[in-house]
Structure 1
Amino acid sequence: MSGPDQQTAALPRGPLLGFAAGSLGMGVWVTVPGLLLLYFLTDVLAVTPWLAGLALLLPKVADVLLHPWIGHRCDVEQARRGDRRRLLLLGCVLPVAFAALFAVPGGLTGAPAAAWVAVAFVAGNLLFAAYQVPYLATPADLRIGYDERTRLMAFRMVVLTLGILVSGLLAPLLTGGDTATRGGYQRMGVLLAVGMLAAMLVGVAGIARLRRSAAAPAAGHTGGWRALAAALRDRQFRWLVAAYLAMSTTTHLVLAGVPYYAEYELGRPGLTTVLVAAFVAPALLVTPGWLVVARRFGKQRALLAAQGAFAVGALVLAVGRPAGLPVLIAAVAVLGVAFAGMQLLPFSMVPDVIRAGTGAAGTYTGVWTATEATGAALGPWAYALCLAAGGFVASAAGESVVQPDSALAAIRWGFGLLPAAAMLVALLLQRRYTLDGAARAADRPVGAAH
């Protein structure tokens, strides 16, 4: 565990904002494929739900191996060069893969279209990992304490939320809204890719400034299988990872279900943007509040409260249209408040675990981001399985089909009951994490000054 003599005062605001800017571009990749890709496959490219779910799941399976390996390379770079900059710059190629994801050639539908999307998704996931792993290793590389790590991630969370909100609102509009076309999806991919690139480059510069102001001494290790084994043997890390896998799966399941819920349960496809705004916008307001709660009660208690609130909000959504549109939007807003906590708190707890353990920041972070990527795949896949079980009928752009009652029920239950159950699992797993009290007590003399 780091001691007070290893910590610094509050990080300067300018470099903090520069660091956080990187999340603006990452937010586009996290949000848009999760929000639109399953719908793009089933309702624009005429891919059957089970195949569409598979096309999104299989590329993510590779992340289980790719992310820890990139974490190892990340630690090698840190040991040899004193920074992780080269991987970050490689990750800045991600916008090209993002644009390709939606640039499916005009003649492709069904299985060939699913194959195109899957290949582009594999490339994008690899590039995203090259950026995300060294980016999220940054807090563990700095001489900062318990509360300052939360503050650093709070800046990141606010900007990430802005990226999620802007891209989540713009993407459906740029595709053509209620009359989305293949050309509209291509246009959306290119325009958002330009913004991604600019934000990610600013993030690289911000990380360099943070490291100049508060870099910790090099730990002297280069990761590898021993570091990976040590991370997996870390009991606190295992429980935190297991809980976050359930959380990530749940939130991505909800995100994938938004367009279906808006169109088939609420009867208005245009409500997709309203639901996305209700889900994401609260984080811009409540993230500072979660920071205060974490300082007052600890990150663990705050996270348990967020998980419980998410489960309650999801149960309201399972009621569907009879609850009334205002109530349903309010329930989505509750999910958004909880989502803000579930983004801020676990990400600020990972550096606590790293500093208390072996310190192989890249390796730990590689496992963590692999977990996040796995949840991002399992969520849409689980929702796709719900659709397939309900007999959902796929269609091409411009076609109108009548869904059976079983499919409409699957859309509702998959958007409400399934997320509630998965989040309760996350809560039970999270209770097994017990490091928070020790981490908080060790850094309190310095952290209280912030």
Structure 2
Amino acid sequence: MTGLDQHQADTDATILPRGPLLGFAAGSLGMGVWVTVPGLLLLYFLTDVLAVAPWLAGLALLLPKVADVLLHPWVGHRCDVEQSRRGDRRRLLLLGCALPLAFAALFAVPGGLTGAPAAAWVAVAFVAGNLLFAAYQVPYLATPADLRIGYHERTRLMAFRMVVLTLGILASGLLAPLLAGGQDATRAGYQRMGVLLAVGMLAAMLVGVAGIARLRRAAAAAPAPHGGGWRGLAVALRDRQFRWLVAAYLAMSTTTHLVLAGVPYYAEYELGRPGLTTVLVAAFVAPALLVTPAWLVLARRVGKQRALLGAQGAFAAGSLVLAVGRPAGLPVLVAAVAVLGVAFAGMQLLPFSMVPDVIRAGGGAAGTYTGVWTATEATGAALGPWAYSLCLAAGGFVASTAGEGVTQPDGALTAIRWGFGLLPAAAMLVALLLQRRYTLDRTARTAG
């Protein structure tokens, strides 16, 4: 056996201890709050509490994300510089731990601000939060590519992360509407919710920083390649496999965030019960706690690529059922959302475990690749609510303040239903077609 073969065998044989794995995964609790609560409530908060017109509310959420296209790759470059100079990415992670402050500010709109001024406040807080989120998320997600571990162990690492992330998404998705006041949500309720969840975010993110340090001790980090910065960005963008994976994930991220933004509207105006928001969120997120191990087993048997294509197809099918709306019956609609949740679990686990496969195959700088990836995720997180806001605007949806009764026109009710069903199905089919162009999986699986 050659020295290279021995090194590869040692890499494939590395099994990460559960303690460091759980510590690493804990960081996703805090990130789960950031990716869930703004996506679930912010558009509704703007249109139905702050009286912001749907088109303007959509822009207030979209434009701050445009900056992420540049910010995330730049953070990725700084992340690689830190790794080269200091041997870790700890300083950026600690900077990102200020994210809870921006999260609290997002919902602490000063009293008296409505309409455009309120939208401007939210947009500014969103920009700050996105930058801090990048400072934490980019080095966090670069960790699997840093470690000397094999193809399946990278999937196992991300499976731990996915389960804990799901707990964060589920807990925050259920608690946030309740803390805001439920069906009688007010400005003060949203502000209280923002502060309470921010405290939990901070604790989880600090545990994650410690967990990454333990992981790096458990599995010696691979040498950091040079070539970050704009040159490294060019290398990442020229990587054909990475381009197809990124394009498919942009469509996936857009679709899932569109569905998340539509949940409060679908519960209130299509199902006639705002309290069902928590039921639908639970149906969408909770399945991941049960099926993530199954996705891990399936990926081991058939490969990550084939498993991911199955998840995308299931998501599209479930979305078509939701387009039928109330005539299908509440149990059927909840079951359809649960199908989306099962697929969502696969679409969170598998693409994130494929990114380090691409990085290791291409030999690029992990931070730069990850910066592009997280910029893609952030862009999808903005495009989803924006697309749904355009549906609302096209249907003539009428914005209002908290407690104000408004009768929506028939066109708005149709837009709410089709935007929650037909549009996600079409977007996910696009993701599936793009994902089919990714061909690295078999090679990466063989290489380990």
8 A contact 1:253–1:379 mirrored in 2: yes
SS in 2 for 1:46: coil
> Which residue of 2 is the match for residue 2 of structure 1?
2
Partner residue of 2:303?
298
- Given that 2:32 and 2:166 are in contact with CA atoms closer than 8 Å, whether structure 1 keeps it comes out as yes
8 Å contact from structure 1 (residues 72, 222) kept in 2: no
Residues of 1 paired with 2:342 and 2:220: CA distance?
Answer: 33
> Which sits farther off after the overlay, 18-27 or 352-361?
352-361
> What is the CA distance between 1:292 and its match in structure 2?
0.2
The size of the alignment, in residue pairs, is 441
> Do the aligned residues in 1 keep the contact of 2:248 with 2:431 (CA within 8 Å)?
yes
Give distance in 2, aligned partners of 1:143 and 1:312.
39
Computed over aligned residues only, the root mean square deviation of the Cα atoms, in angstroms, reads 1.3
Is the CA contact (8 Å cut-off) linking 1:79 and 1:222 kept in structure 2?
no
Query: CA contact under 8 A between 2:236 and 2:364: conserved in structure 1?
Result: no
Cα deviation, 1:362-417, whole Å, max 9, x if unaligned, reads 00000000000000000000000000000000000010000000000000000000
- Any idea what SS the aligned residue of 2:204 has? helix
Asked whether the 8 Å contact 2:156–2:296 carries over to 1, the reply is: yes
Structure 2: distance between partners of 1:216 and 1:121 = 33
Q: 1 CA distance for matches of 2:359 and 2:40? A: 32
- Same amino acid, percent of matched pairs: 91
Shift of 1:213: 1.1
Contact 1:63–1:125 under 8 Å retained in 2: yes
CA displacement at 1:358 relative to structure 2: 2.5
Cα distance, 1:8 vs structure 2: 4.5
CA shift, 1:432, in A, is: 0.1
Of residues 329, 337, 340, the one that matches 2:334 is 329
Q: CA deviation at 1:225?
A: 1.0
Report if the CA contact (8 A) 2:73-2:372 is conserved: yes
Alignment partners' CA distance in 1, 2:307 and 2:220:
29
After superposition, what is the alpha-carbon deviation per residue over 1:157-181, rounded to whole angstroms, capped at 9, x for unaligned? 0000000000000000000000000
Alpha carbons of 1:416 and 1:94: their partners in 2 closer, same or farther (altered >3 Å)? same
The answer (yes or no) to whether the contact 2:93–2:209 under 8 Å persists in 1 is yes
Could you report, residue by residue, the CA deviation over 1:316-369 in whole angstroms, capped at 9, with x for unpaired residues? Answer: 000000000000000000000000000000000000000000231000000000
TM-aligned CA deviation for residue 39 of structure 1: 0.1
In the alignment, structure 2 segments of 5+ residues that lack a partner are 4-9
The change in CA–CA distance for 1:42 and 1:220 in structure 2 (over 3 A counts) is same
Q: Does the 8 Å contact 1:2/1:356 carry over to 2?
A: no
Shift of 1:248: 0.0
Q: Per-residue displacement from partner, 1:55-101 (whole Å, max 9, x unpaired)?
A: 00000000000000000000000000000000000000000000000
Q: Does 1:348 align with 2:353?
A: yes
Find 1:255's aligned residue among 257, 260, 284. 260
Q: Deviations over 1:295-323 (max 9, x none)?
A: 00000000000000000000000000000
Q: Per-residue deviation at 1:219?
A: 2.8
Q: What is the TM-score with the length of structure 1 in the denominator?
A: 0.97
What secondary structure, in the 3-state scheme, does the structure 1 residue paired with 2:72 have? helix
State the 4+ residue runs in structure 1 displaced beyond 2 angstroms.
5-8
Alignment partners' CA distance in 2, 1:413 and 1:437: 38
Which residue pairs with 1:448 in the alignment?
Answer: none
Instruction: Using the TM superposition, give the Cα deviation of residue 216 of structure 1 relative to its aligned residue in structure 2, in angstroms.
Output: 2.7
Supply the distance in 2 between the matched residues of 1:223 and 1:143 (Cα, whole angstroms). 20
Q: Is the 8 A contact 1:8 1:143 kept in 2?
A: no
